[in-house]
Amino acid sequence: MSDTEVRARPGRNLDYPYQTRPELGESIEVVPGVHWVRMRLPMQLNHINLWVLEDGDGWTVVDSGIRNSETVEAWEKLFAGPMGGRPVKRVIVTHLHPDHIGLAGWLTRKFDVELWITRTEFLLCRNLVADTGHEAPREGVRFYRAAGFTEELLENYRARFGGFGHGVYKLPNSFRRIREGDAIEIGGRSWRVVVGNGHSPEHACLWCPEANVMISGDQILPRISSNVSVHPTEPEANPLQDWLDSCARLKSILPADVLVLPAHNEPFRGAPLRLQELIDDHEENMEKLVALCAEPKRAVDVFPALFRSRITTGVYGMATGESIAHLNCLRFRGRMRRSPDAEAVEWYRSE
């Protein structure tokens, strides 16, 4: 099999030890005391995995699902069923995206417990939620216009602005900070907080060397390349370099046979392989961009170098953010130059 065939189907060379997935409202015990729960998502990525950990006379929950009535019902079913009426004692959230943090405020209020999360994720999440109900800012319109958005696409951006908050239940007003290197004791085992950056600013993974398990959130996914985007709030950011550095660091510390419990797809072994595959894919995509931008291109012109599928309106903003992340990374490496035309649209040309 050629190299390209392996890449065409990411994650196929990994080991997936579980043949079945938990149904809605049910759970599967993947290692003693660690239960796999799956919730539906109303989007193209149609599910999320959550982890419910035995913790003395109750449970520690890792990630919460998106805010909607279906997910609330699924939780109620779990409380009454597999969770045996025992209380949730703490809610840990890996990062700020609504599929992960959406019901954290509901769970913490219901059980009167704390939200454990990194500081940057908590603060940025509150910030993004506060955008709901506000008009799209000038900076955002300028950013997407510079990327090459048409008036119609800009209108779509304006219409969708603030949508983040709809997927998030009212957040708690305080939180318990977790950070890189912390050890959290859960059910008699020590879980180490390992922080990654790039997909979100301070994403927490939980690694238990004793059980040889890592709850990876969106930091390591077996078959999906996590979105790494530049946003209008920080147009000069270089999240792709952060992401590549995080992948390299995780690869250097994780054992080859660690069981990875990802937020999407299925549990797998082969983290170092997968991390290298992610690094290689991004580096390869950047080389494609360098070739493509021999003639000047706008951010919206480079999708074919990065994505296999056609980019629809619904994911246009995300694809643009991801394109700019790759272009910015190349600019910081001195391999891409950017200059605006008379309409303030930015054109990229490789050096």
Which stretches of the chain bind Zn ion, using CB under 5 A?
A: 97, 99, 218, 263
Give 33 or 217: the residue with its C-beta nearer to Zn ion.
Answer: 217
Nearest-approach distance from CB 99 to Zn ion, in angstroms:
5
Find the angle CA(102)-CA(202)-CA(348) to the nearest 5 degrees. Answer: 100
Element (H, E) at 169: none
Give 224 or 290: the residue with its C-beta nearer to Zn ion.
Answer: 224
Give 275 or 336: the residue with its C-beta nearer to Zn ion.
Answer: 275
* Alpha-carbon span 274 to 276, nearest angstrom: 5
Nearest-approach distance from CB 145 to Zn ion, in angstroms:
26
Nearest-approach distance from CB 328 to Zn ion, in angstroms:
20
* Alpha-carbon span 12 to 24, nearest angstrom: 26
Nearest-approach distance from CB 203 to Zn ion, in angstroms:
8
* Alpha-carbon span 337 to 239, nearest angstrom: 18
> In the chain, at which residue ranges do the beta strands (DSSP E only) sit?
27-31, 34-40, 47-55, 58-62, 88-92, 115-117, 176-177, 183-186, 189-196, 203-208, 213-217, 259-262, 268-269, 336-340, 346-350
Nearest-approach distance from CB 216 to Zn ion, in angstroms:
11
Give 33 or 167: the residue with its C-beta nearer to Zn ion.
Answer: 167
Nearest-approach distance from CB 263 to Zn ion, in angstroms:
5
| Nearest residue to 95 via CA among 189, 6, 220 | 220
Nearest-approach distance from CB 278 to Zn ion, in angstroms:
15
Contact, 207 vs 192, CB < 8 A?
A: yes
Give 193 or 305: the residue with its C-beta nearer to Zn ion.
Answer: 193
Residue 124's DSSP bridge partners are: none
Nearest-approach distance from CB 340 to Zn ion, in angstroms:
31
Element (H, E) at 77: helix 69-80
Give 198 or 232: the residue with its C-beta nearer to Zn ion.
Answer: 198
Give 55 or 218: the residue with its C-beta nearer to Zn ion.
Answer: 218
* Token pair listed for 198: 């790039």
Contact, 90 vs 60, CB < 8 A?
A: yes
Contacts of 210 (CB under 8 A, 6+ apart): 189, 190
Give 54 or 218: the residue with its C-beta nearer to Zn ion.
Answer: 218
Nearest-approach distance from CB 168 to Zn ion, in angstroms:
13
Give 263 or 330: the residue with its C-beta nearer to Zn ion.
Answer: 263
Contact, 274 vs 265, CB < 8 A?
A: no
Cβ atoms within 10 A of the Cβ of 68, count? Answer: 19
Residue 201 CB-density burial (10 A; 0-12 exposed, 13-18 middle, 19+ buried): buried
